[in-house]
C-alpha cells in the first residue's frame, strides 16, 4: 500500500499537469487569435505574441520544476545507459552536487535580478517583469530540492533508474 505522502504527491503532480495543459490550451487559442486578426481581419495585435511568450516561459519552467520526472530528463546515454548501478549512483552524486552548487550559487543573484525587474513591465499587457520571471526562482529552488533528494538517495544506495530503450514511450 502506498503512503499518503506518495498519494498526495501524485495528486499534486497531476494537478500541475492539468495546469500546464490549460496553459498550452491558452497559448493555442491566443495563437489562433493572432492568425485570425492578422490574416482575416488584417489587424496586427501585439499582445498575443507577448502572452504566448509569457505562457511558454511559465510552461517550460513550471513543468520542469513540478511535472518532469528524473527519468524523463536528458542524459548522455552513451555513458548512463550501459553503466551498472554503482557507477550510475556515482554519476548521480556528481551531477547532483554540481547542480545543487550551481543553482545555489546563482540563486542570490537570480533573486536580486528578479526583484530588480519590478521597475519594468511588458509593452502591451503591462505585466511586471518580476512577476513574469518569478517562476525561475521557483524552478531553481525546486531543482535544488530535487537534486539534494536524488543525491541522498544515491548515497543511501538507491541507484537511479536505467533507461530501457525497449520500453520507450511517449509517457502515456
Read off the C-alpha cell for 115: 526583484
Read off the pLDDT of residues 45-70 as tens digits, 9 standing for 90 and up: 889 989 999 999 999 999 999 998 87
Percent share of the chain, pLDDT over 90:
59
Average pLDDT on 19-27 reads: 95
In whole angstroms, give the CA distance from residue 149 to residue 157: 13
Packing angle of the helix pair 129-155, 47-66 (nearest 10 deg): 20
Q: 124-163, pLDDT tens digit by residue?
A: 999 999 999 999 999 999 999 999 999 999 999 887 766 6
Residue scoring higher pLDDT (165 or 46):
46
Amino acid at each position: 500500500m502506498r503512503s499518503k505522502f506518495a498519494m498526495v504527491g501524485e495528486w499534486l503532480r497531476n494537478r500541475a499537469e492539468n495546469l500546464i495543459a490549460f496553459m498550452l490550451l491558452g497559448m493555442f487559442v491566443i495563437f489562433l487569435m493572432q492568425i485570425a486578426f492578422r490574416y482575416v481581419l488584417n489587424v496586427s495585435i501585439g499582445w498575443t505574441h507577448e502572452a504566448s511568450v509569457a505562457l511558454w516561459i511559465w510552461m517550460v519552467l513550471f513543468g520542469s520544476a513540478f511535472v518532469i520526472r528524473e527519468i524523463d530528463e536528458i542524459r548522455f546515454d552513451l555513458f548512463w545507459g550501459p553503466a551498472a548501478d554503482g557507477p550510475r549512483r556515482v554519476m548521480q552524486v556528481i551531477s547532483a552536487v554540481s547542480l545543487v552548487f550551481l543553482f545555489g550559487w546563482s540563486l542570490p543573484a537570480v533573486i536580486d535580478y528578479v526583484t530588480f525587474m519590478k521597475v519594468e513591465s511588458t509593452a502591451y499587457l503591462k505585466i511586471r517583469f518580476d512577476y513574469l520571471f518569478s517562476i525561475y526562482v521557483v524552478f531553481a529552488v525546486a531543482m535544488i530540492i530535487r537534486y539534494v533528494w536524488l543525491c541522498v538517495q544515491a548515497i543511501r544506495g538507491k541507484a537511479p533508474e536505467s533507461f530501457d530503450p525497449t520500453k520507450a514511450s511517449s509517457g502515456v
